[in-house]
Amino acid sequence: MKTLRYKNSDPDRIDGLILQTLVRDARTSTAEIARKVGLSAPSVSERIRRLEEAGVITSYTATINPQAFGLELTAWIRIRPMPGQFHKVAKILEKLPAVVECDRITGEDCFIARAHVKSVSELEVLIDEIVPYAMTNTSLVQSSPVKRRLPPIPNIGEDS
């Protein structure tokens, strides 16, 4: 991944405010961001373009509430493939629509996957796809006190 560098400077607090605003709502208009950070819309547009070119902004997305589609349960599944089954398990996870994200991790397990399902029986069917090739340990999400947010990044101060 590229490191964000402008021609003669590093990213600054205004870049941070732009990123915070877009993470909260990717549909925020350039004019609204400009008012918030005290710059002109063309200046903000140029900064956003640079952030995109530097690989800092990789996409724009909408956040969907799975419960609106009847997906009442969210589960984190830790997965430890059987010997020789690592790549097969990765392919299985990639093909399971209920698995919305998956990371390869260190430690005893190799993967941690987040899944949204309608019921415990649907979760059981999902796990049954994996267990011939891996051991699993599943935890159900009760609530999410910390929503997805930016990690601590130098020069990005708190929103004022």
pLDDT digits (tens, 9 = 90+) for 14-23: 999 999 999 9
Confidence of residue 157 (pLDDT cuts 50, 70, 90): low
Q: Which domain holds residue 114?
A: 66-140
User: CA-CA distance, 159 to 73, in Å (whole number)?
Assistant: 33
| 42/101 same-domain check | no
- Cβ atoms within 10 Å, residue 63: 8
Whether 37 and 77 map to the same domain: the answer is no
- The answer to the question of residue 160 being in a domain is no
Q: Is residue 54 part of a domain?
A: yes
State pLDDT tens for residues 46-69: 999 999 998 889 999 888 999 999
> Is the same domain home to 87 and 105?
yes
Q: CB-side exposure of 41: number of CA atoms within 13 Å?
A: 5
In a domain, 35, yes or no: yes
Percent of the chain at pLDDT > 90 equals 77
3-state SS, residue 65 = coil
pTM of the model: 0.79
pLDDT over 70 percentage in the chain: 89
